[in-house]
Amino acid sequence: MLYNIKYEVKKGAFMYNRLDSLCSIFDYVVEMRRYFHMNPELGLEEFNTQAKIISELKSFGLKPKKIGNTGVVCNIDGKGSKRIAIRADIDALPIDDAIDKPYKSRKPNVCHACGHDGHTAILLGVAKFFSENIDLLEGSIRLIFQPNEEKVPIGGAKTLINEGVLDGVDAIIGAHLWQPIECGKIGISYDRLMACADEFTINISGRGGHGSMPHQTVDPIITGAQIILALKMITSTSIDPLENSVLSIGLFNAGSAFNIIPDKSVIKGTVRTFSQEVRETIFRRIKEICEGICTSNGAKFTMEPIFGYPSLINHKSIVKVIESSASEVIGEENVLHIKPVMGAEDFSYYLQEIKGAFFFIGAGNVDKGIVYPHHHPKFDIDEDALLVGLKVIIASAINLFK
């Protein structure tokens, strides 16, 4: 079905019908995606990935450069002065690959369980297309292959920005293969798309003792339990119900024996927000709750916040171009306006510097059994989504020059 989508020769769309060329590139993109899936590398360890990307770009006659230790940047210069950047993340996750496919990861406990292999392959396809169709460029394209997106709060975007990856860039676009959206469609948002990703650790100090004599102790388990219950009330009592926010507890550790009250406990959790005001309110309330409960119980505490990526908020003018471009190449009915998600992306750092937008490429397919969520050992994508991403990104880049 995807192969029957043709570019219309009209204002605002492609000036030429290049479908045959793009479909041959699609085969190349699938090949590359499978190569990267079989050979995944964790953040800041993407040396083989970097070498493969550089080798492929050089085969197109391009001049890629290393950036951010394990990243790659490459320009494709057309006839105009405007420059559009397109970014793909290239790192994998510390997860065992459980898919039953020929392209299953060859590395134990490392796999592309999030789709970055597809992002890398799509951007290589974009590079191949524009290197073969340079006449379509009314400016220059900057390809950004970014390492280390998965390691919150470090990320790779800030490193690349500090090294000048956005110098001379007028706008930037990026995309994420997204399992919750059906293959053949894309998801866009004209404002908020992804949340801040913050963490916290609460260390509670009490006084241990025998389980039969609790009156002689300051119980960090009871104190921790009270704190957890109170923390879960923050979003429902201290935050405007029209604001999106999540506070989740992922770890509560204490004790080593059934009849001993320990002297310490540890709580770890995550906070997801879009508004800086809401973000600050939640962390202020966490501290106030810990102070109140620990004081009443005679315990002490320390709280360590870890502030991750900022919220990803798109620029409307760039989203408008992506929407119109996608409508031309995959059909208006396949462009979905979606609600924000509480996941995070360090692409948000680029959007704090220049205009740009991020969107989701549908990659799920129930009929093919592609139903497992991101970061699951059986996560996979419908590879037809690679062609959708290729078309939408190329069309958007061309139209952004106009």
Residue 372 token pair: 């497992």
Q: Which pair of tokens denotes residue 36?
A: 């990267």
When pLDDT is averaged across residues 244-259 and rounded to a whole number, the result is 97
Q: Are 189 and 255 in a shared domain?
A: no
14 and 158 assigned to the same domain: yes
pLDDT tens, 375-386? 999 999 999 999
Last residue of a domain, one of 272, 291, 306: 306
Domain endpoint, select from 260, 284, 306: 306
Domain span holding position 230: 196-306
**Which of 257, 290, 306 is the last residue before a domain boundary?**
306
C-alpha 186/C-alpha 355 separation (Å) is 20
pLDDT at 49 over 90: yes
**pLDDT tens string 181-234:** 999 999 999 999 999 999 999 999 999 999 999 999 999 999 999 999 999 999
Q: Would you say residue 14 has pLDDT above 80?
A: no
Residue 364 bridge partners (DSSP): 182
pTM higher than the cut 0.85: yes
Question: Are 52 and 131 found together in one domain?
Answer: yes
Q: Write the CATH number for 91.
A: 3.40.630.10
Residues 160, 229 within the same domain: no
Q: Does residue 242 share a domain with residue 123? A: no
Which residues, 6 or more positions from 242, have their beta carbon under 8 angstroms from its beta carbon? none
Q: How many CB atoms lie within 10 A of CB 364?
A: 21
Q: How many domains does the chain have?
A: 2
Considering 46, 91, 380, 384, which one is annotated as catalytic?
A: 91
Question: What is the pLDDT averaged over residues 50-54?
Answer: 98
The answer to whether the beta carbons of residues 387 and 362 sit under 8 Å apart is no
**49 and 154, same domain (yes or no):** yes
199 catalytic? Reply is no
Catalytic residue among 56, 89, 97, 149: 149
Residue identified by tokens 């790659």 is: 72
pLDDT tens digit sequence for 20-36: 568 889 999 999 999 99
Whether residue 247 has pLDDT greater than 70: yes
What's the one-letter identity of residue 199? E
The contacts found for 209-218 with CB under 8 angstroms, 24 or more apart, are: 209/260, 209/261, 210/259, 210/260, 210/261, 211/258, 211/259, 211/260, 211/261, 212/259, 214/261, 217/261, 218/297, 218/298, 218/299
Whether 213 and 130 map to the same domain: the answer is no
16 pLDDT more than 50: no
d(C-alpha 393, C-alpha 400), whole Å:
10
**What one-character DSSP code corresponds to residue 13?**
S
* Cβ neighbours for 175, distance < 8 A, ≥ 6 positions apart: 119, 122, 186, 358, 359, 360, 361, 389, 392, 393
Gap between the Cα atoms of 354 and 331, Å rounded: 29
Same domain, 55 and 152: yes
Q: Answer yes or no: are the C-beta atoms of 203 and 301 closer than 8 Å.
A: yes
Residue that the structure tokens 């998600």 belong to:
341
Considering only 20-29, 152-161, 387-396, which range has the smallest mean pLDDT?
20-29
Q: What pairing do the DSSP bridges indicate for beta strands 192-194 and 312-313?
A: antiparallel
| Phi, psi (degrees; rounded to nearest 5) at 373 | -75, 170
Confidence of residue 12 (pLDDT cuts 50, 70, 90): very low
Which residue in this structure is represented by tokens 């400016």?
139
3-state secondary structure string, 168-190?
Answer: CCCEEEEEEEEEEEECCCEEECC
CATH number at residue 215: 3.30.70.360
d(CA 109, CA 97): 7
> Over 80: is that where the pLDDT of 13 sits?
no
Buried/exposed code over 35-51 (b: 16+ C-beta within 10 A; e: otherwise) = bbbbbbbbbbbbeebbe
Does pLDDT of 99 surpass 80?
yes
Please give the Cα distance from 76 to 64 (Å, whole number): 10
Amino acid at 27: D
The torsion angles phi and psi of 322, rounded to 5 degrees, stand at: -60, -45
Same structural domain, 108 and 209: no
Tell whether 219 and 244 lie within a shared domain.
yes
User: Residues 6 or more apart from 397 whose CB is under 8 A from it?
Assistant: 84, 86, 126, 130, 141, 173
Query: Which of residues 5 and 45 earns the better pLDDT score?
Result: 45
Q: In the prediction, which pLDDT does 18 show?
A: 64
Same domain, 175 and 38: yes
Q: What letter does residue 207 receive in the DSSP assignment?
A: B
Same domain, 248 and 182: no
Catalytic residue flag (residue 240): no
Give the tens place of pLDDT for each residue, 286-321.
Answer: 999 999 999 999 999 999 999 999 999 999 999 999
